[in-house]
Structure 1
Amino acid sequence: MTALPLDGITVVSCEQAVAAPLATRHLADLGARVIKVERPGSGDFARDYDETVEGLSSHFVWLNRSKESIALDLKDPAGIDVLRRLLTDADVFVQNFAPGAAERLGLGAQELRARFPRLVTCSISGYGDSGPYRDARAYDLLIQAEAGLLSVTGTPEQPAKSGIPAADIGAGMYAFSGILAALYERERTGRGAALEVSLFDALTEWMGYPLYYAGYGTPPVRAGTSHAAIAPYGCFAAGDGVEVVLAIQNEREWVRFCDGVLQRPELAVDPRFDTGSRRVAHRPELHAEIDKVLLDVTGDGLEARLAEHRIAHARRRELGEVLEHPQLAARDRWRTVDSPAGPIRALLPPIGYDGREPRMGAIPAVGADTDRIRRGLEEG
């Protein structure tokens, strides 16, 4: 089998929840050996979020394939000793302890890198290791609130959180990319690095365009699936109830939409709708005109017209439809991985590597690899 790019890299991770496990799962996908350190008995508390996937947590199944699990009591000096021995041969150490906990355990970045100069350490926290929010609770929804995501998501009447853990995912992806950069730098310098990633910093970075919009103009309004500065933009229902998402980006497309899709060319030059800003200003009237036409068109018929006239569009799908999405099927994106509950479907990771199949290993039970890992340390 052709080697994966991170074959030979060992990652030790004291991780739980979403952000750190997401970062390390992507490293495992690319071939790294990931040793997940868990509490004896209960393990990562994300194991208990739900029991949806054949009795297993959907979060845990998503984030923890291809890892080895060792159960260690880090309040016991013997557990810390085993962890330090693991770090002797590790390339990366990831932790998302509460602020200051790693230092109290003797696992702070400064101490570890003095002992292991080639080690890349990555600390993932809610708000960073300083500042007035350092010790604040940092659940994903709370970060979304503090970073302003709730202010731009939802409807004019009601804010809404994102339907996925955006802050956790953002932090996990920055940790993943930062670790890759640090490993690349180590190839040149021979030295590791100490990385710090916070959920708040990750999500405020993702808020870049709305922050600039607010700082130099007025804050974007919550507009549901619509857009604060573009119309028509968002969900529209065909006569049979199928919802199609439109995103008219320029005047040429607007004219084609009126002529070919709505079959009402006069709307393109209607003084209420003949520029982007006027369409936004008269959005309710615009939607009423579009809805009037779509009542007599099926979803399939509407999509056919949109495709014929090269209008950007998508079908709004429920999650059950996404599971059977024709694009996923056509590109063979599904695999099966083992788990304590038996075989489970899993999507291939987004990074495709020139024909090499990513690692799609089993989801471990708590401490499933403890004895084998300990024996390896004793024999080593």
Structure 2
Amino acid sequence: MTPPLEGFTVVSVEQAVAAPLATRQLADLGARVIKVERPDGGDLARGYDDFVAGTGAHFVWLNRGKESVAVDLKSDDGRALVRRLIDDADVFVQNLAPGAAARLGLGAAALRAARPALITVDLSGYGDGGPYAQRKAYDMLVQAEAGLISITGTPESAVKTGIPTADIASGMYCAQAVLAALLRRERTGEGAQIEVSMLEATLEWMGYPMYSRMHTGAEPPRMGVGHVSIAPYDSYPTSDGEILIGVQSDNGWRALMADVLGRPELVDDPRFVTNIDRVGHRAACDAAVAELTVGWTAAELSARLAEAGVPAAVIKDVGTAVDHPQLRARDRWRTVATEHARVEALLPPATFADHEASMGAVPALGAHTRTVLADAGYSAERLDALAAAGVIAGDAVNVPAACP
């Protein structure tokens, strides 16, 4: 079947995580994504590490299915070249430093004045205007500014999340907004000027703790793996490790005590009858559960809990999660090409019944420079001159797009 975004072209001047995540989602849905990179090293994420058969793990994760064009945006010819690509595109995405796109002649207002049907997305740390607009915004810093770090960790120690949450949140909203803008344009012909702030995206994800703080005046406590408003909801000891149990209803409490742990008399203990009671007596509730769970192995208890319909999980390390039986049973892994090797990649979470995500190759730096520019009307002689002047780098002949 036809990929959902087939026929749409996205040009992106992007680096690191947030914008590349957004455009990778569009590429997975079938859009042509032309990634503009610096000739001297390209996207910063290329050099974060070399963990995936010589290619950076972040880069492999975020850049499959794109065409890499290496262009020097500091040169007049380079800027004109990218402007020409944008003139033929449906969407332009950028996450350069604040104000940089406008200084390069790639500001949203100027681009849309020339082409009102164009959809532009400016993805930044703190948004346009305001006292933080010019500040550098890395994921960890935005997590701190959004209050996420203050609620993550244990009572003794605050930590950032183990994944780049602020980057992912803003990248997701960016992709969502592009899809909405494309849908509107199909109906009306009208383009869009979109702005996405990492701070605002992360604060939106703060949901419950944010509204709780606003309406109670109390800072949400750090709970480790526990939950501030549900009990029992934590990690409990077993004879060979630990298990997570999350009881979100009074029926769940009844099943846990009566059907799994063999203590039906605790179901109607006045301290534990309702969730509000259990939260009010959290220490006693957790102690009662822990005294019973320690008599089972984690595997035994996990099976019993599943049979009784009580939510639970054994904490998996990343290696075990990658080999999760549910993913294997549902055939969720595919192989994608990088410039050095074929590697496994997880299918996107949204599954179309009639179309599988495109999952194209991860490009080498500049792998598509000449082919993309030839498609845009540049002659071979002109491309040779631009390459000799250092304006462009790479081509589809001597820079591998991906491994065989």
**TM-score under structure 2 length normalisation:** 0.91
Say whether residues 1:339 and 2:338 are aligned partners: yes
RMSD: 1.3
Name the counterpart of 2:359.
360
Alignment of 1:90-239 (within 5 A): 90-217=89-216, 218-239=218-239
Q: Deviations over 1:41-98 (max 9, x none)?
A: 2000011112211121111110000000000000000101110111121000000011
Alignment pair present for 1:250 and 2:246: no
Aligned positions, number: 378
* Distance (Å, rounded) in 1 between the aligned partners of 2:123 and 2:18: 8
CA distance in 1, matches of 2:56, 2:45: 7
Equivalent position of 1:324 in the other structure: 323
SS of the equivalent of 2:92 reads: strand
Return the letter of the residue paired with 1:7. Answer: E
Q: Secondary structure at the match of 2:61?
A: helix
Note if contact 1:154-1:160 (Cα within 8 Å) is conserved in structure 2: yes
Could you tell me how far apart the structure 1 residues matched to 2:329 and 2:12 are? 36
State the partner residue of 1:87.
Answer: 86
Deviates more, 1:287-296 or 1:35-44: 287-296
The CA distance in 2 between the partners of 1:327 and 1:355, in whole Å, is 21
C-alpha separation in 2, matches of 1:174 and 1:290: 40
Gaps of 5+ in 2: 380-404
**Paired position in structure 2 for 1:39:** 38
- Deviations 1:257-304 (Å, cap 9, x if unpaired)? 111111111222233333323322332332222222222211221122
The aligned amino acid for 2:170 is: A
Q: Helix, strand or coil: the match of 2:334?
A: strand
Aligned counterparts of 1:256 and 1:188: Cα–Cα separation in 2: 52
What is the SS of the residue equivalent to 1:5? coil
Unaligned runs of 5+ in 1: none
Distance (whole Å) between structure 2 residues aligned to residue 183 and residue 248 of structure 1: 42
Question: CA–CA distance in 1 between the matches of 2:200 and 2:70?
Answer: 31
* Aligned-partner SS, 1:378: coil
1:378 aligns with 2:377: yes
Whether contact under 8 Å (1:238, 1:295) holds in the other structure is yes
8 Å contact from structure 1 (residues 18, 168) kept in 2: yes
SS in structure 1 at match of 2:45: helix
- The more displaced of 304-313 and 144-153 is 304-313
Distance 2:10 2:229 in 1: 45
* AA in 1 matched with 2:312: H
Assess if the C-alpha contact under 8 Å between 1:235 and 1:316 holds in 2: no
> After superposition, what is the alpha-carbon deviation per residue over 1:195-233, rounded to whole angstroms, capped at 9, x for unaligned?
000100101111122111011112321110111111110
- Stretch moving more, 44-53 or 269-278: 269-278
Letter in 1 for 2:281: H
The one-letter amino acid of 1:180's match is L
- 1:269 counterpart SS class: coil
Partner of 1:56: 55
Distance 1:37 1:134, change over 3 A: same
After TM superposition, the structure 1 = structure 2 runs for residues 9-48 of structure 1, keeping only pairs within 5 Å, are 9-48=8-47
For 2:395, the equivalent position in structure 1 comes to none
Distance 1:357 1:307 in 2: 31
TM-score (norm 1): 0.97
Q: Please report how far the alpha carbon of residue 379 of structure 1 lies from its aligned counterpart in structure 2 after TM superposition.
A: 5.7
Asked if the contact 1:41–1:366 (Cα under 8 Å) also holds between the matched residues in 2, the reply is no
Give 3-state SS (helix, strand or coil) of 1:70's partner.
Answer: strand
